Structure formats: C-alpha cells, structure tokens
Amino acid sequence: MKVKDPICGMTVDTDRAPEKGSYAGQWVYFCSAACKKRYEAAHGGH
Ligand SMILES: [Zn+2]
C-alpha cells in the first residue's frame, strides 16, 4: 500500500518504509528517520 509521508509529502510504500511509528493506535510511515523525528517532535513523541 502507498501512503504519504506526513512530513515531506513523499509517497512511501508501507512494505518498504524505512521508518514507521504507531501514534494514537495508527501507523504512520516515513521516508527517513529524519522525517520520523520531525513528526515526533511535532506530535509529542512516541
Ligand atoms: Zn519524508
């Protein structure tokens, strides 16, 4: 499945996403660790 990286807007394949995290029970996928860090900084982490 293809989803959008919420930070940079890049399309990320959920099977190959380099980084992902579960926030409020929902998986969010990122193109890189840097985007994940930025997301967590904006959303209170973990
Ligand atoms: Zn990104």
Q: Is 11 helix (H, G, I), strand (E, B) or coil?
A: strand
- Residues with Cβ within 8 Å of 38's Cβ and at least 6 positions away in sequence, in order, are 7
**CA separation, residue 43 to residues 16, 17, 22, 36 (Å):** 23, 20, 12, 10
Q: How far is the CA of 31 from the centre of ligand 1 (A)?
A: 4
| pLDDT given at position 46 | 53
What does pTM read for this prediction?
0.88
Q: How far is the CA of 25 from the centre of ligand 1 (A)?
A: 20
* Phi and psi angles of residue 6, each rounded to the nearest 5 degrees, phi first: -70, -15
**Can you give the residue range of the structural domain that contains 32?**
2-43
Q: How far is the CA of 46 from the centre of ligand 1 (A)?
A: 17
Q: How far is the CA of 29 from the centre of ligand 1 (A)?
A: 9
**Summary count for the chain: helices (H), strands (E):** 1, 4
Residue-by-residue pLDDT tens, the chain, 46 positions? 999 999 999 999 999 999 999 999 999 999 999 999 999 999 865 5
